[in-house]
Amino acid sequence: MSELCGSVAESRKRQHHRLLTRSVFFILFVLAPPLNLFRLDLNLGHFILFGFDWTLGLDALQRGTMEPVEAVVNLVLRVLLPVVLLVAGLFWTAWRLGRVYCGWLCPHFSVVEIINGLMRRAGGKPTLWEPQVLSARRPNGKTEHRHPLWWFVVVVAVAGFAFLWALVLLTYLLPPREIYGNLVTLNLTLNQALFLGIATLVFVIEFTLARHLFCRYGCAFGLFQSYVWMANKRALVVGFDRPRAQACIACGGACDDVCPMRLKPRQSKRHMFACTNCGLCLQACSQVQDNTPGGSLLQWVSGECALDVSTRDFGHRYTCTSTECFLTDRPVRMKE
């Protein structure tokens, strides 16, 4: 798709947009409970949505002042219809774009990327489980300066994000004014203190050791997006310009190094099950191949052009009749 691929400048601009959407959504995630945009108040026993009580509207039925038909209408309008619309919208988005929420909005994935970058600065590896140290030379040609003192920053960031997540989740369940007030005055109840302590510890372990595993296998919403995306063989996916594979040999796997999920973007779609469509691999490839006549070897492809990535491991071999798959959003006939 021509509007989604191309020069280094376009890739950089796309990453700036992604940084903006992630930052805004992370702030929204933190502030939604205090602003009463969305939360579940366990004291009241119902949701708060945009400052209004979101209930089933069945209190009147229990008091005998509401007809059963009216109660059914309330259930349809307040529960069934919103859920159906929400699921349909998420399904449609994942069907076409995959885990775009994860790469462009998810506050957890934002933490994953930040910790990855800090760990690279500290020890040259984005995760503790990386088999070997990655090259200090970045795809843009600059050298990444590393120092063991960055481990202190890693520890502070992990602990800080873990506590923040525990605190925010607690405000989604109990009145934020009460929680923040008790925290400032050091007057938390025993249950509140236990929740914050245990949740912080769990998040410290997860952010340190298993943040990628959680994204791949532990996040129900992420798995939902992946399964829907996998079912659509023509969905947007990262495609590799195979006829020019020779130009890829000398780059040192720049696209592999920058992937936050530690995937290999040149592989088939089945191996990219957890791809978040963040586009960092495309940016890395466009930077490395900036002076190559054909430009980036990785591009967004969809429709017929996505079949090579989607069906390669299932006994089919689709090959573009030309390089048009990487130059236009016009459908290109494929042949087996």
Q: How many domains does the chain have?
A: 2
Quick one: 27 and 143 in the same domain? yes
- Kindly indicate the confidence band of residue 46, based on its pLDDT and cuts at 50, 70 and 90: confident
Residue 52 has pLDDT above 90, yes or no: no
Domain boundary among 198, 224, 250: 224
Highest mean pLDDT among 36-50, 158-172, 245-259: 158-172
Mean pLDDT, residues 97-109 taken together: 95
Structural domain range at position 140: 13-51+99-224
Amino acid 66: pLDDT: 67
Q: Are 39 and 171 members of one domain?
A: yes
The reply to whether 259 and 237 lie within a common domain is yes
Model confidence band, residue 58 (pLDDT cutoffs 50, 70, 90): low
- Give the pLDDT mean for 85-100: 95
Residue 238 falls inside a structural domain: yes
DSSP labels, 91-154: HHHHHHHSSHHHHHT-HHHHHHHHHHHHHHHHHS-SSTT-SSPPPSB-TTSPBPP--TTHHHHH
- Would the pLDDT of 112 be above 70? yes
- Same domain? For 198 and 242 the reply is no
Choosing from 161, 194, 224, the residue where a domain stops is 224
237 and 187 housed in the same domain:
no
The strand pairing partners of 299, in sequence order, are 239
Classify residue 66: in a domain, yes or no: no
Together in a domain, 175 and 213: yes
Which has the higher per-residue pLDDT, 242 or 298? 298
Average pLDDT over residues 260-264: 93
Same-domain check for residues 269 and 310: yes
Which pLDDT score, from 0 to 100, does residue 5 have? 45
User: Dihedral through CA 171, CA 32, CA 214, CA 111, nearest 10?
Assistant: -110
Any idea which of 147-161, 209-223, 265-279, 291-305 has the lowest mean pLDDT?
Answer: 291-305
Residues 142, 147, 153, 159: what is their CA dihedral angle, to the nearest 10 degrees?
A: 110
| Half-sphere exposure at residue 25, Cβ-oriented, CA atoms within 13 angstroms | 17
Give Cα 181 distance to the centre of its chain.
32
Examine the pLDDT at 336 and tell me if it is beyond 50: no
Q: Tell me, rounded to whole angstroms, the distance of Cα 156 from its chain centroid.
A: 23
User: Does residue 245 form part of some domain?
Assistant: yes
Q: In this predicted model, which residue has the larger pLDDT, 3 or 306?
A: 306
80 domain residue, yes or no: no
Supply the pLDDT for residue 59. Answer: 66
Query: Does residue 157 fall inside a structural domain?
Result: yes
Token pair in block for residue 40: 């579940």
Question: Looking at the structure, do residues 118 and 141 belong to the same domain, yes or no?
Answer: yes
One domain for residues 211 and 242: no
Q: What integer best gives the mean pLDDT of the chain? A: 86
Q: Is the pTM of this model over 0.75?
A: yes
- 12-16, 77-81, 181-185 — which is least confidently predicted? 77-81
Comparing 111-115, 157-161, 302-306, which segment has the lowest mean pLDDT? 302-306
pLDDT bucket at 55, cuts 50 / 70 / 90 = confident
pLDDT (tens digit, 9 = 90+) per residue, 173-210? 999 999 999 999 999 999 999 999 999 999 999 999 99
**Do 27 and 146 belong to one domain?**
yes
Do 203 and 256 lie in one domain? The reply is: no
Residue 243 lies in a domain: yes
In DSSP terms, 232 is beta-bridged to none
The reply to whether 85 falls in a domain is no
What is the mean pLDDT of the segment spanning 18-46? 94
In a domain, residue 79? The reply is no
- Across residues 269-296, what is the average pLDDT? 89
pLDDT at 324 over 60: no
Of 224, 255, 287, which residue constitutes the final position of a domain? 224
Confidence band (pLDDT; 50, 70, 90) for 218? very high
Q: What is the pLDDT of residue 250?
A: 73
Determine the residue type at 294.
Answer: G
Per-residue pLDDT band for 325 (boundaries 50, 70, 90) equals low
Token reading at 336? 């087996």
Top-ranked range on mean pLDDT: pick from 221-225, 268-272, 303-307:
221-225
The pLDDT of residue 327 is above 50: no
Same domain, yes or no, for 119 and 155? yes
